Structure 1
Amino acid sequence: MSATYLARKAALKQRVRLLYRRSLKDTLNWAVHRHLFYGDADDLRNKFEANKHVEDLETIDRMIAVGEATYNKWRHPDPYIVPWAPGGTKFCRNPVPPAGIEIVYDYGREDND
């Protein structure tokens, strides 16, 4: 096996892994309850495991393209975003105060002179 073949195989393996992770996370967006998610996650895993034996790089590349197209077609329109992550409801809720405003963090420990 040549280095080019091994490098391409590693790249395809990474694409499959990323597609699986994105699909699994998106499956969680569609499930209302966790017990519903488990069945969908098992079905998704079985779809990926069914093609685990394929060795031809061109076939794998085509299968990844079909999988990515299917993923893009069925992506959730309003995915769950962790509140403190970018795009979440609490992201940058407390922005840095403007210049010239001083905040004293003494929390009630005033000087009693």
Structure 2
Amino acid sequence: MSVTSTAAYVARRAAQKERVRILYRRALKDTLNWAVHRHLFYQDASELRERFDVNKHVEDLDTIDRLIADGEASHNKWRHPDPYIVPWAPGGSKFTRNPTPPSGIELINDSHDDDQGCCL
């Protein structure tokens, strides 16, 4: 192999590893959306890990790309329709609950610092 083809191979493998890592994390988080109880999640997470480990030793780059594409398509097909979102995260129920006022609107404080009307 030449230096160029070796560098291209290493770059492609690194990109594939990153895609697999991202797919696994997304699928694992989505598994938590489907499992109501923690013991169900552990079982589902174990099965998910086994599905990834079956293809762990595949070396052909085109086969790996096809497996990743199939896995992403399967994940998109079976993704939870109403995933859990942390309330204060974007999309959550508390996100921007008390937003800052728009520009051009001034807040006026009615308290006076002078001595008139002070009750002491």
Superposition TM-score, scaled by structure 2 size = 0.83
Where structure 1 has 5 or more consecutive residues not aligned to the other structure, the ranges are 105-110
Counterpart for residue 7 of structure 2: 3
Question: Deviation at 1:112?
Answer: 7.2
Task: Select which of 95, 100, 104 maps to 2:106.
Answer: 100
Counterpart for residue 35 of structure 1: 39
Q: SS of 1:43's equivalent?
A: helix
Question: Deviation at 1:35?
Answer: 1.1
Where structure 2 has 5 or more consecutive residues not aligned to the other structure, the ranges are 111-117
- 1:67-101 per-residue CA deviation (whole Å, 9 max, x = no partner) reads 01100110000000000001000000011135211
Identity level (%): 70
1:73 aligned partner, one-letter code = K
Which runs of at least 4 in structure 1 moved beyond 6 Å after TM superposition? none
Counterpart for residue 21 of structure 2: 17
The higher radius of gyration belongs to 2
Superposition TM-score, scaled by structure 1 size = 0.88
RMSD: 1.8
Aligned length: 107
